[in-house]
Structure 1
Amino acid sequence: MASDTRDRILDALETVLLERGVAQVTLENVAAAAQVSKGGLLYHFKSKDALLAGLVRRLGERATTQRDEAVAAGTSVAAWYLQTPDITAHDDAMELALYRSLLATMRSVDAASPDEIQRTLDEALASWSDNLDAEIDDPVRADMIRLVGDGVYLRALLGLPPIDPARYRKVVARLLAD
């Protein structure tokens, strides 16, 4: 029950960020959107900064879950990292949830305490990097995969046109070639 309320609060925070913007992120607005009292919100998140850090933490958890499922299905960590987000695939709730979390996190950066949000974001990104580094022997190649994956996802988050799919498949094939 507590995790349901916590998730409902974080879902509400995402909605406020995505639909109304960072200026409207107040404990009162998020509590109202989550249909909990302000005290109920504060039970789970002691401050606005803790709430925003919780959003980033959940982003990391969602990415880890998606990565682990992809690896269990036979996809390499590098191939998972290089995937293009497809939020039009309505049957992939996990991809949509990850996309929403990442977009909301990007919109929250200016609203948070630089220390807490940055530390939480650094931890999530370090986890992704560690997994790539563990799989790829060449650190430069791991960095190239990381940078290309970050760029492709950022293009999608910003609503920019995707790279030509055939050409991108060639990029991925070259990066994944041993």
Structure 2
Amino acid sequence: MTSAHERKKQPEQVRRRLLDCAANLAVETGLASLTIQAVADAADVTKGGLFHHFASKDKLIEGVFIDLLDKLDAEIDAILAEDPVVPGRFTRAYVDSAIRLMESKAPSPWGALSISMMTDPALRRLWSDWYRARLARHADTDSAPMLEIVRYAADGIWLSDLCDMDPALRMDRAALRNRLIRMTTEPERDPA
């Protein structure tokens, strides 16, 4: 009898382990090199056990992406809870999250998944659905055009950092973050 049959079934812990191992392997080897067998081995489950939780490699990758979006939600919610200024609060949290993630020295699967999102319609849909829901939730406080511009700037920072832009060509991230945050609290001027 194998140890898989002897151990107590703990589906949520197994699923969590599979997601964590897939995310770690995505960082180490990239999504293109990620295999079902490698994830199963790293999580100490059979391929059948992995397929019980995720029907395919694509579904596993989607699961990792959803897990990261849940973590992003939690981080943004924590930042929102600390921000006493309501107008623009979501945009400030979004900027902070984007810059913190890029400044973090910890390896993250966000890079590989973000690049894949550009070509993978399922990941793009997941991101769009998440973003649309967040914007709808914060429509009363974060729909001003200037706030949209600030969020686009945060996306641009994210993309330039993913592309490993030469640091000599980049503005200091702390100064850039502070400027973007100020833009969320400054009254909009009509450019006309």
| Percent identity of equivalent pairs | 23
| Change in 2 beyond 3 A, CA 1:56/1:159 | same
Note the C-alpha offset of 1:126.
2.1
Runs of 4+ deviating beyond 6 Å:
none
User: What letter corresponds to residue 100 of structure 1 in structure 2?
Assistant: S
1:65-76 alignment runs, 5 A limit: 65-74=74-83, 76=89
- CA displacement, residues 13-56 of structure 1 (integer Å, 9 cap, x when unaligned): 12222211223222112211222111111111111111111122
Alpha-carbon RMSD: 2.5
User: What letter corresponds to residue 125 of structure 1 in structure 2?
Assistant: Y
Q: Distance in 2 between matches of 1:18 and 1:24?
A: 10
How many residues of Structure 1 are paired with residues of Structure 2 in the alignment?
166
* Structure 2: 5+ residue stretches without partners: 1-9, 188-192
Question: What is the TM-score of this pair, normalised by structure 1?
Answer: 0.78
1:103-118 alignment runs, 5 A limit: 103-109=111-117, 114-118=120-124
Secondary structure at 1:163's aligned position in 2? Answer: coil
Q: Is the 8 A contact 1:9 1:30 kept in 2?
A: yes
Pick one of 89, 93, 102 that aligns with 1:80.
93
Match status 1:7 vs 2:16:
yes
Match status 1:126 vs 2:132:
yes
User: What letter corresponds to residue 128 of structure 2 in structure 1?
Assistant: D
Secondary structure at 1:50's aligned position in 2? Answer: helix
Question: What is the TM-score of this pair, normalised by structure 2?
Answer: 0.73
Partner of 1:141: 146
1:35-114 alignment runs, 5 A limit: 35-74=44-83, 76-83=89-96, 84-85=99-100, 86-88=103-105, 100-109=108-117, 114=120
Q: Distance in 1 between matches of 2:59 and 2:125?
A: 12
* Structure 1: 5+ residue stretches without partners: 89-95
Rg comparison, structure with higher value: 2
Q: Distance in 2 between matches of 1:12 and 1:108?
A: 18
1:152-171 alignment runs, 5 A limit: 152-160=157-165, 161=167, 162-164=170-172, 165-171=174-180
Note the C-alpha offset of 1:168.
4.2
Note the C-alpha offset of 1:9.
1.1
- CA displacement, residues 133-177 of structure 1 (integer Å, 9 cap, x when unaligned): 342242x22321220111223333344335223354234312332
Q: Distance in 2 between matches of 1:171 and 1:108?
A: 27
Match status 1:24 vs 2:33:
yes
